[in-house]
Structure 1
């Protein structure tokens, strides 16, 4: 049985008398951002490990925990919004919450790593957490997921994420604003493609021209935290941008420009450790285990996904996780199964007119399909959300609107004569859509969202993949504008 640990004590990591390879440090350092692995030739002395802040977490107090898959690692990644000390220049905010929250899943068997983002605007069922020396604790209730950290610290946040996802969390890594900024500066900035000019006074007065840019630490921090100045201003849009940036950072860290220069590598790793807090079980040996687990993982095997979600019915500014898609994703991570949709299973033949369960790939490309989206639900803004999803899949969205007359009980893609394949292409990316011919339609198809709408990802061409979700890889990060 693991030893019990108090959750209230934070200390500097003590010296273990061992050296950690550069590859192991690169692996754990970029775990803060994503997770990467490479065994390099340079030894990194113990003083870097001694810079780490470490916190005791009493996982025995959680009660029954999810089972652990031997060999696989799940690391809770937290970007802290704490505003004290050096971080006070980024505004005043009482308490501490996760500005970014994700589970990094490292799979030696799959030779891959996946970062599953949990949007901070998610409304979830919170467990009871006892008070600590400096936190009030909380009763079981419904709230935004980040409230757990403010109520009960990392102990409560770890418990909350583990109980919500049923994923066994092995370690946590937390980095603050200054740590992130210093990491970027230590490797000479990160190249990105900025699609549109940015002027966001709420993100450190961030001002950037459109085009290819190399962001320094201060600019990078504003870029990944900005909401109102970019995209649609949502947390989901910000997550997409953060995933893109993480991929670009991984490319830079893994480049010979950084790995082949001991001073750059040492500066980078030093900036990581100085502003990072981990659990006290994340020691030199476990860091080396991460590096070993990641040594065969390439950039295109490091994937980013966001838990399937939709607008919360009671608050358009909040998020609810879409079921059963979210549970299927979590189950796949917990069982160390592939979650990138790579292994398609064969489904039985189905002669019905249903697109959502089709096991055949669509005969037309998404770019050939023009679709209009009609929102027949009571969820405000759902058509725009679905429009964003379909556009990201490559479909041509003509517009959105409200229904006129009767609406179907089931989400339906209507099509005109000769365009059944176009309708099926749309239905195949939805969890539960059917298709139906309608004589009034010509070249375009019409997606009518009914109250049974259950998001994307479950009805794609995979047919039986336990976690058929949209993902991007680190190799796909755009550092140059097309």
Structure 2
């Protein structure tokens, strides 16, 4: 694993980048250069218009090695107050800040986000802590396996990978001692809605049979080596650690399986579970019946509620014996209960204890391996603030719909395969940013208003097919997608003025159609043909020339030429639980 780039102006004290907002009583990160401006200005969005690429349409998106997002400008510095005697006064106490509703909303989806609270501490202490936290983090360059985002705008898809590596103190007795890299254990695909009203955490079973694609990986010397994919279907846990596969291979596997572009990954191992659970003072869990597993996980708990940490916490997450069918799916339910409880614990207890909060931040950063896009304390802080906007009751935990593997005999079934009816519906809802929970009326009304405004883009006259001009770029990851779309448009739909522009500069999570105001009738016609949702339409502000084409970028939601891109608006019948609910493992 490569050490991450620090990317920080050393002459700037990071603690001085936080200032008190007198209107809210909270400390905020200042993004301007003025010493007198207390509020954080908004960040302009980057244009989503695709540009031409020189590479051939191979279906692999842009070439590996995208640059990371540009850092925000260095903020202006806070002036120190001077006493009447000419000396400097100590900074005002920050412990009595306003306890408003905004703080209650700062809930963390995983413990890495605690730095959002840590970095608003005392000036000198925060600087030393920042350096410590920053040096804790391991960052990996996964190339174009990660779909880049303009800052932290828009919907976010984060893959939280459980690594079952057995190295580290106290882990010698857990399975394969020779496994020094680990494999992908149960993994969470976490979707954060664009409006931050809801989030979805989908568990991917380690024993899911799936095809693993070819995977370009960065080598220590800077070169790229392509790791061959699996021959046929194999267990999902082999998407990491086998044959040199890195976390980017796990990201590519999920994208290949779901059509969902992944923005970032976080990876945690056995040691992370032990240290993080201890740092928060233990995590509350509940059992409907006692568990006595003396042979495998060594979990020994009575029925009822318990507060567990360290080895007990790890045993709780690893255990599947004495539960339901004693399967990986039963274990996943325990893991979901544990994570939801940890989130409540952070909100209710840990955030009120500065000492405990520091312990959590240190343990979290020390335990995390992330992609370079979030490979610093400040970048993780920025991500944490976005996650913290989501209310616990609107965070859904579920397992990707699966069925028993039909290729295995009934009495020896050890693996599962995707439910081909329900799983695509779940993936499509995530692709189209549809919530699995009912959000508050005010939030829902605001989202509906935005949806209605977007829907108006599809209202109005349509051009004739022969008058539609469009350049098609492939950002889907499907080989030959642009050419197959061109063939369909020209031969079946009569759009003769369509052109294959090869690969998009980078992979796209969603299909988009960018057009000028005077091309709106063409955009509506093409949207009708392709079944594009209103959210795929991206109108510009300046009229185009008479022969200027629109720009269509095929995204990860592209299912094939002629297949509608629109997704479902209602969740399929799947088991799910919200993060604010206290449930007991059965």
TM class, shorter-chain normalised?
Answer: 0.5 to 0.7
| Correspondences of 1:156-235 after superposition (within 5 Å) | 156-235=249-328
Assess, with a 3 A threshold, how the Cα gap between structure 1 residues 270 and 37 changes in structure 2: closer, same or farther: closer
Q: Does 1:139 align with 2:229?
A: yes
CA contact (8 A) 1:57 1:155 kept: yes
CA contact (8 A) 1:39 1:295 kept: no
Q: Deviations over 1:32-55 (max 9, x none)?
A: 469899868943531212211111
Query: Of 465, 470, 474, which aligns to 2:579?
Result: 474
Per the TM alignment, residue 470 of structure 1 is displaced from its structure 2 partner at its CA by 2.7
Per the TM alignment, residue 232 of structure 1 is displaced from its structure 2 partner at its CA by 1.9
CA contact (8 A) 2:214 2:226 kept: no
Larger gyration radius, structure 1 or structure 2: 2
Q: How far, CA to CA, are the matches of 1:216 and 1:471 in structure 2?
A: 25
Per the TM alignment, residue 29 of structure 1 is displaced from its structure 2 partner at its CA by 10
Per the TM alignment, residue 342 of structure 1 is displaced from its structure 2 partner at its CA by 7.3
The aligned residue for residue 345 of structure 2 is 252
Assess, with a 3 A threshold, how the Cα gap between structure 1 residues 227 and 199 changes in structure 2: closer, same or farther: same
CA contact (8 A) 2:279 2:363 kept: yes
Q: Does 1:90 align with 2:174?
A: yes
Q: How far, CA to CA, are the matches of 2:333 and 2:341 in structure 1?
A: 13
Q: Secondary structure at the match of 2:250?
A: helix
Q: How many residues align?
A: 349
TM-score norm. by structure 2 comes to 0.53
Query: Structure 2 unaligned runs (5+)?
Result: 19-26, 30-103, 441-567
The aligned residue for residue 52 of structure 1 is 137
Give the structure with the larger strand fraction: 1
The aligned residue for residue 427 of structure 2 is 330
The aligned residue for residue 51 of structure 2 is none
CA contact (8 A) 1:11 1:53 kept: yes
Per the TM alignment, residue 292 of structure 1 is displaced from its structure 2 partner at its CA by 3.3
| Correspondences of 1:440-459 after superposition (within 5 Å) | none
Query: Of 361, 382, 388, which aligns to 1:289?
Result: 382
Per the TM alignment, residue 72 of structure 1 is displaced from its structure 2 partner at its CA by 0.9
Per the TM alignment, residue 275 of structure 1 is displaced from its structure 2 partner at its CA by 1.4
Higher relative contact order (CA 8 A, sep 6+): 2
Q: Secondary structure at the match of 1:159?
A: helix
Assess, with a 3 A threshold, how the Cα gap between structure 1 residues 220 and 73 changes in structure 2: closer, same or farther: same
Q: Does 1:279 align with 2:371?
A: yes
Per the TM alignment, residue 143 of structure 1 is displaced from its structure 2 partner at its CA by 0.6
Q: How far, CA to CA, are the matches of 1:298 and 1:289 in structure 2?
A: 17
The aligned residue for residue 91 of structure 2 is none
Q: Secondary structure at the match of 1:278?
A: strand
Per the TM alignment, residue 340 of structure 1 is displaced from its structure 2 partner at its CA by 3.4
The aligned residue for residue 210 of structure 2 is 124
Assess, with a 3 A threshold, how the Cα gap between structure 1 residues 480 and 74 changes in structure 2: closer, same or farther: closer
Query: Structure 1 unaligned runs (5+)?
Result: 1-8, 344-462
CA contact (8 A) 1:128 1:139 kept: yes
CA contact (8 A) 1:66 1:167 kept: no
CA contact (8 A) 2:189 2:202 kept: yes
Q: Does 1:321 align with 2:411?
A: no
CA contact (8 A) 1:340 1:468 kept: no
